[in-house]
Structure 1
Amino acid sequence: MAFKSKSKTVKRFSVRNFLAAILHPFMSSPTDAPGVFTPAGEPSHIDVGLWHSLLFTSELSAQCKLEHMVYGKSTTEYEHEFVLLHFRHPTQHHAVAILTLERTCAENTTGSSRSAGQAVVVSPSVSPITAKDTITPTTNSSFTIDSYVTQEFGPHKYLLELDFPTSARPSAMQVSILLCVLSKHSPMYELLQYQCYWYAYTVWEALKKLFPEHVERPLNEGRSRFKGQPIKKAESANTVCEQYRAEWARFEEAAEERRRAKEEEERRVRMEVLAEGRAQRQPEVDDERRQKEEERRQREEAERKANEAERRADEERKQREEAAREHEAEMNRMRARMAELERRAA
């Protein structure tokens, strides 16, 4: 999706981009990543805590990568600020989902909450109310997202855009944990501090600090300003980053525990299956063992008989050799006597 900038740029024709624009409407949107990619229909505003839980229902949802962000601002009376998050599917790489992220008031969820919330600028005495931090899955069509943003926020402009490199993109799960930390850090919509200006600003800056390998481009001026005047907001990015790191460490530890528990359960199931299989095959195993034992006994008996026959044959050979030696000795004695007799007769 292209965003207008005050700076002049040279638009170059790209065959690849041209073909992508033609073929894009015919590419089906994934259905295996709920919470990030949603079926066609009306967008649904999801509380960021619920969105975090929804990502647990699908590994693919949690693994979708944030590759692009856009900082938006309504140009209507209350100048509401919001962020567009572009997530790419981890396996269907052609698919990109665009989600809108914003903070409004919890008292009114019809869209007029933005007006009510931004009334802080002219009515600073209004008491804090519960904030409503929501993320809204939309579509990967630039025509539809422009239409949706206009319908949702009215006339608007884009102030900044930011790209993360392929090797250093936050996952949807990481983003969701950051958003939960942010809501826990400041759960109330305090009109002069923790409003939509603070929320969009802190999300943007925290992601920049946590994932510093990024490229940011300014498009227009006016961030955190109302009627041209700067709006006071809490400087919370560093604190939120520290809280995120601690929460992410706990998440990874819990994930590792779940992985080990899963492996142990799988090992236990395998052992049970093997044990059950052995029990079912035990009669057959016993027969095989008896058959092998009988075959071993027969081999040993055959070897014993062969050895016995060889021993007897060896004894008989020795007896024959002994008899032949005695016979030869007797013949030698007889020849000696004959020779003696002949000598005497001569």
Structure 2
Amino acid sequence: MSLKQDRRNHSWISRFLASLRRVFMSEHPPGLPALRFHCPHGPDVGSASVMSWCSSMADSWDKTHGNLYSKCLLARMEYSKCAGHPEHEFLVFYFSHWLDGCSAQAVVSADRAVQGQGRSLKQSSELISPSSSDTNAYDSVSIYGSPRDAAPQLQVRYAPYSRLCTFDFPSSSAPSALQVSTVLSLVHRQAPAYDLYENQCYWFSSVVWGSLKELFPSDEESDCENHRARARYRGVALGSPTEDIEAVCAAYQTEWQKMLETVEQTKHHREAEVAQIRHEALAEQQPEIDQLRQEIDQLRARLAAHNL
């Protein structure tokens, strides 16, 4: 076989193995705690406040690839509304896997409720009760795994609900999961108290949606089946959060720079931990190393005595 023919065969085999690897990785990609692309033990919804979700991403570091959450991009976000009382509104995010060629996605929903309300959002009347006004807000994310895992769990949590708008991000301008978590934390700090008339679930979803569209624009228009139904309770408009969206966007660059600094600090901290572990391991093995060196020196001495 000629060298040229051998190279062609090797190239074909490499492409075949790469495509085979992508297929298997799409079905069983490596998971990330804050973005579970595959649930090996079946659907199991995890939840966290937006602040702790953001912190967990910033505290993650892979010695080979760095912060993987900065590589998982937001492919799509959906604006949805519960059909029943109290017409709760929420967002659903679809994140693409960090590995090139992997088609896996991780689904996360985000919404605002009253602190301590729990997960029974669709049944609760607390969202529209005057007694709920001016209490702590619980802005949280729910992590579902793959779209297949997410579909029935979204129905359990929110159904009946309808998707009002969809916004697809091109890869060239899509925010990473780390950037999305930064925006969510900024929105929470913009109004950490739940207010019935100003800062409820309608406000939260609208500000997050508008901020992400403003910070990471796309040439494509969002697909809205019922734009006018957003931020409304029983047909009554609850105000436009334009000023809050502008405030979040104005604060974003400074907050993102702080996030990058935190990620860099995490990197140095993890590298220091690895160096310390190696140093301690070497210290434990040092007596054995010294003994081995002594035996080698003795062997050399005996060989020299016999002129060998």
Q: Which TM-score applies when normalising by structure 2?
A: 0.71
Q: Which residue of 2 aligns with 1:238?
A: 246
User: Which residue identity does 2:89 align to in structure 1?
Assistant: E
How many aligned positions are there?
A: 264
Correspondence 1:184 to 2:192: no
CA positional deviation for 1:149: 2.4
Q: Deviations over 1:98-148 (max 9, x none)?
A: 11111111132041477334324xx4x653111111111113235x53432
Quick one: structure 1 residues 220 and 112, their matched pair in 2 at CA, closer, same or farther if it must change by over 3 Å? closer
Matched residue SS, 1:73: strand
Identity of aligned residues (%): 27
CA positional deviation for 1:265: 8.1
Is the Cα–Cα contact under 8 Å of residues 186 and 194 in structure 1 kept in the other structure? yes
Q: Which residue of 1 aligns with 2:305?
A: none
Correspondence 1:223 to 2:223: no
User: Which residue identity does 2:217 align to in structure 1?
Assistant: P
Distance in 2 between residues matched to 1:171 and 1:26, nearest whole Å:
20
Correspondence 1:63 to 2:71: yes
Correspondence 1:75 to 2:77: no
Quick one: structure 1 residues 233 and 129, their matched pair in 2 at CA, closer, same or farther if it must change by over 3 Å? farther
Q: Which residue of 2 aligns with 1:311?
A: none
Distance in 1 between residues matched to 2:47 and 2:277, nearest whole Å:
41
Deviates more, 1:192-201 or 1:182-191: 182-191
Q: Deviations over 1:203-225 (max 9, x none)?
A: 01111111113532212231111
User: Which residue identity does 2:207 align to in structure 1?
Assistant: T
Which residue of 120, 124, 128 maps to 1:119? 128
Quick one: structure 1 residues 138 and 255, their matched pair in 2 at CA, closer, same or farther if it must change by over 3 Å? closer
Where does the alignment leave 5 or more consecutive residues of structure 1 unmatched?
1-23, 286-346
Correspondence 1:32 to 2:31: yes
Is the Cα–Cα contact under 8 Å of residues 80 and 114 in structure 1 kept in the other structure? no
Matched residue SS, 1:250: helix
Quick one: structure 1 residues 224 and 114, their matched pair in 2 at CA, closer, same or farther if it must change by over 3 Å? farther
Trace 1:247-266 onto structure 2 (pairs within 5 A). Answer: 247-259=255-267
Quick one: structure 1 residues 259 and 31, their matched pair in 2 at CA, closer, same or farther if it must change by over 3 Å? closer
Is the Cα–Cα contact under 8 Å of residues 35 and 145 in structure 2 kept in the other structure? no
Correspondence 1:158 to 2:160: no
CA positional deviation for 1:248: 0.9
RMSD (Å) for aligned C-alpha atoms = 3.7
Distance in 1 between residues matched to 2:49 and 2:126, nearest whole Å:
17
Distance in 1 between residues matched to 2:192 and 2:224, nearest whole Å:
30
Q: Which TM-score applies when normalising by structure 1?
A: 0.64
CA positional deviation for 1:262: 6.3
Correspondence 1:175 to 2:180: yes
Distance in 2 between residues matched to 1:90 and 1:63, nearest whole Å:
5
Is the Cα–Cα contact under 8 Å of residues 197 and 233 in structure 1 kept in the other structure? no
User: Which residue identity does 1:232 align to in structure 2?
Assistant: G
Quick one: structure 1 residues 126 and 99, their matched pair in 2 at CA, closer, same or farther if it must change by over 3 Å? closer
Q: Which residue of 1 aligns with 2:301?
A: none
Deviates more, 1:191-200 or 1:235-244: 235-244
Deviates more, 1:239-248 or 1:57-66: 57-66
User: Which residue identity does 2:230 align to in structure 1?
Assistant: R
Q: Identify the structure with the greater helix proportion.
A: 1
